[in-house]
Structure formats: structure tokens, C-alpha cells
Chain A
């Protein structure tokens, strides 16, 4: 579900809206509801350009995936808050370019799978259904008991339930863990899993970028690369952001077969929050090296309008699709200059 509705208007909330929320909040359980509301409130100060999202016609929709977070369904059981997610593995076809179609395994009809988002300490329940032929599974990064580790194959047509506590906070991921894991991941069974810290991070325009690779002829060598599923997409459709707006990038490298890639941002430096597991940055950089499954939070703001590329500095990988650009827009009434990197 896109969050753009809450982010889009950029107007502070009216007293009336807040009261409505308060009344509707009768059913919302204290802490979790309050946290969500604080998040909403803080996000309402964030400026996000309106998105021109084309109607999704297949499993790829990079523009929609940028700011799309799945918070699951919240249930109460035995006095505990359970955050329930549903993930179904299926099969679909994507067009890597005008000439090449490729069969992927998708999660909930998309590649990468939904960006799941919870708060530290939530009880997570993931209902996983496998409709993708081979046996598959979901293995979550994080801390949990062995039986919830998601390495047991779930056969075609059957479902299973993974349940564990969301800890520790950070940017994590989930993926299929059936051998050959390289192939099961590279064909699409992965997604980002964000656990928010107990105290929310400062307001920012939050963007998800997942780097993936495609081995179209099964020779254990990638032929194409992409941010959020589709090669070169953000080169042709730059990601709009506002000048001086704090951007919080959640970046994951899930490129199989290449041992490591970097992430490089043009004409700027970013603050690095390694694995998203701290509230203070460890360093400032314009290139950061990421091994397979490494992921970080990168924060920055652009001072000057214009288009700025981002890509791995393994240029061959960039040239084969893992490349995009931000389009920094000058805002008319910019009243909240946040931070210059």
C-alpha cells in the first residue's frame, strides 16, 4: 500500500483531523497506535513530489516500489500485538528490455517482494504460501529460534507460518533459502524487511532501493542488473526529490554471483548508518562497498536542483542496468531546510 497519500499533500494536519484520529483511535491499542500516529505526524512535514505511477501491468513497477511499505495487519491475541504479513510465491514474466523476456519467481506478484515494515518488539507472523512449482521458503534476517529460520522447504501448493519477534531494529531482508540459493534468490524471491527503532527516526523522504541481478541463461553469471526490479528504469524515469529535503535511502544489495558492489551517489556525500542499526551515522562517504545481502541506511539532501546519477561503481554492472538518477526539484516554499551533506 503506497504511503503517498499521507506524504503527498505536505500540509500540516488540522485540529479536526487530529480529533477524528483520536476518536477513531478508540480501537487502536495504545503504544503501537501512538507510534504509528507519531510516524504519520512527523512524515506530514516531509515534502515528496507527486508520483506519476503508471498502471502496473506486470511484476515490475519500480516507481511504486520506491516508497511502498507493507505494515501488515495488526491483530490482538492473548494481550499481544501481532503484525501479520501474507506472502505468496508465484511465477511471472518480466521484460528486461524490448527484446528479452525473463521468467521470475515473484512474491505477491512483484519483484522485489514487498518491503515489510515493523517496529522493534512487534510479534511478526508471516503467512507464506508457495504457488511457484519448486519448493521454496522464507528465511528472515534477524534474531529468532531455529524452527523459525525458514530453511525447511515448503512444497508447491502448501503454506506455512513463520512467527517471531521483530529484533533488532535495522534494515534487514528476507529471501528463499532453498538450494541452489543463488538461483532461488536471483530469480526473485527476496525483499527488504525494515524494523524501526523504538524512537522513530527524524522525518525524511524515505526511499527503498534494492540492487538485483538477472542470470537469464542459467550460467551462474549475471546478464542484467537492476534497481527495484527493472534495468535502467530510473535512468529513464528519474526519482523526483525536493531540494534540501532529507532523503533516507534504504539500500540492499542482493546481486548474486558478483561478490560485492558499491553504491555511489553523484555530486554529494551521504551519512552511513550501517545495517540501519544505529541512530548516529558512522561515517560520511560517496561510495560504499556492499557484499551480497549487505544493506545500509544512507542519508543526504541535495543543495542544487538538477539530475544526479547513482549506481554501483563497478561500471560494467551499472551499464548493464543498475543505474538510475534523482531529479532534484526546487520547491517554491521550502520552509524546512533540513540538512546539507
Chain B
């Protein structure tokens, strides 16, 4: 009985080796099913992954929405940018087709500009990314400040740590070229202080220098750029996107069970709101309807975080918060698109 099986196996194995040696069609393995039938979608050879990417390429795994708009514009597919973002991650540019984001024909039109390799961001995208990272730091420090003021150093500590642990490395390389002095040391010493001797009077001055350091890094971007609605709205939406995920991670059964994530989201939303105040009159002029939608949504959003110490019951559900964030994003996109078209003229 067993012998017969091995003979069959050997025969089958030989057959496979023979057949595969004269066939180069790649396929997928499916070990959970006894019959290995290759799905058609996998029968594409993805040689591009190891290819060198040219400067023009956009990394579809990391690009922000306004960068992806280039594809949306070229192909004329509404909301394509969001669709590309929603179908991440991509192992290769061709995954845009295998994941049914666009058709093969559409892909052929843009394939020279699509990449999945880490690309060095340039131009506005690079600045938006830089500013967003610093904006997250500002949000963390904002809520840390509130907690320190309320004599809650233990709760403040993670928000002082996060800028270094999660974000600093992403801006570190750019500091030199933007002529900004490193400020990791400043942030780390503040963290050390809050951790080991939170009552020390030095906490206040150390905190001030940390905030100043982040502000200084932000000021490396030209004032003209920072006051441009099309630019700042992109930053705002990056911040709100993170806030949205953090808020979802804070709530269970209508209760705030993870205060750290509640506080993170509070910091990001409040700083985003602050940024919006700086450009709101310009947005109101350029697109009154979009402004109204953004303004109202922000007013609603702010209410979700009544204080730095979370309330017993969540004010809004994560889904409600997502809705508000999406409304701001959609309306911002209109303003960003408008400013892009104007810039091209």
C-alpha cells in the first residue's frame, strides 16, 4: 500500500520536473489544496522590482494623495488617488493591475512613473512629508504640555518619548540640508528629566527648548509656503489620518480604554486645527463651500476630546470621527486640486 504510493509519487515528481524544466511560467503555490492550479493573475513576471527606479517615479506605497493625483489626472479616473492608497501595500507596480486598481491599458500609460522602491522625495511632497512629521511632534508635545500642567508627568512621558521613538529618524537626514540644528539631544534630555525627576524645575525650561527646537525646524520651510492653503491642507490631512487611527485604537465598547492613543489623537487634531486657523480666511475666499464643510467638521471634531485626561465615555464613535476626517479630506482635496491647476497655468 505505502509502496504503491511512493511509486506514484515518484512518477508524479518526475513528471513535474520534466514539465517544469521546459516551462518557465511562474505560478503560485497553494499548499492547503491538493491540486495546485495556478491563478491567472499570478502568471505575470514581475521583473521590475529589482530594476533601478528613475527620478520621476512615485512610490505608490508611500506617496501622499496629492502626489498620486498625477495618475488620477493623467488617467482621468475619479478618486483614483484614494483607491491606490486603499489598496496598499504593493509588491510591484504591476500589482496595480493584479489588485484591480486600474486596467492593464491604464497601467501601460503610467508604468514609467510608478515605483515601489523607496524613493527620495522631492519638491512639495518632500516638504509636506517633513512638515507633517514635525506636526505630529507638535501634537505630541501639545498634549504632553497639558498633562505636565495638570501634574501628570507619568501620563505626559510617552508623549515626550514618541517624537524621538517614532518620528525623529524620518526627519533626521533632512535637518542638515535644511540647515536645522539637530534636536534629538534636546528631546531625549527632556524625556530623561520627566522620567527620572518630573518635579525638577528644569522640566519647564527643557520643555520650552524642545518646543522651540521643533518650531525652529518648521521655520526652515519658507513662510510663503507654510501660508499656502494647498500646502497646509495636505499637512492637516496627514495629521488627521494618524489621529483617526489613534482614536480607533483608543476606544473599546464606547469607553476610552487606551488613554495614550486618545491623547495622541487629541494632540494631532488640535494642532491640525491650529494650522487650519492660519489659512482659513484664504480657503474661505478660494472655495467658500469647502471652507464651510472643513470649518464645521473641525468644530465637531474638537468636541471629541474635551480634556487631556479622557472622559469616562467616548463622545463620538470611531466611525463618526472617521466621517468627519473624511469630510475634511474630501473638501481639502478640492482646494488642493484647484491650487495645483493654478500653479500649472
Contacts and interface: CB of A to CB of B under 8 A. Distances in A.
Q: Which of B36, B42, B118 has the most CB of A within 10 A?
A: B36
Contact of A36 (B29, B248, B249): B29
Nearest to B14: A22
Contacts of B16: 22, 25-26, 28, 30, 33-34, 37
Interface in B11-70: 11-13, 15-17, 19-21, 23-38, 42-43, 45-47, 49-50, 61-62
A74 B44 CA distance: 11
Contacts of B246: 133-134
A161 B19 contact: no
A75 B26 contact: yes
Interface stretch (B227-235, B254-262, B303-311, B334-342): B254-262
Interface in A29-84: 29-30, 32-34, 36-41, 69, 71, 73-78, 84
B88 A180 contact: no
Interface string A135-162: 1000000000000000011011111110
Nearest to A101: B252
A20 interface: yes
B251 A103 contact: yes
Given A25-B20, A77-B46, A40 B35 contact: no
Interface in A187-219: 216, 218
B26 A33 contact: no
Contacts of B38: 24, 27-28
B169 interface: yes
A27 B259 CA distance: 53
Nearest to B257: A103
B166 interface: yes
A297 interface: no
B299 interface: no
Contact of B11 (A18, A38, A160): A18
A210 to B, nearest CB: 20
Nearest to B242: A156
B241 interface: yes
Interface residues of B, number: 76
A180 B166 CA distance: 9
Interface string A70-112: 0101111110000010101001010000000111010000000
Contact of A160 (B33, B61, B161, B264): B61
B182 to A, nearest CB: 18
Given A33-B16, A77-B49, A13 B5 contact: yes
Contacts of A30: 16-17, 20-21
20 contacts: A15-B4, A26-B20, A27-B27, A28-B20, A28-B29, A33-B36, A69-B31, A77-B49, A77-B50, A91-B249, A101-B255, A103-B257, A103-B258, A129-B88, A134-B166, A156-B241, A159-B90, A178-B166, A179-B161, A180-B165
Given A33-B36, A86-B89, 12 more contacts: A6-B31, A19-B12, A24-B36, A25-B20, A74-B27, A74-B29, A78-B47, A103-B250, A133-B242, A155-B166, A159-B90, A216-B257
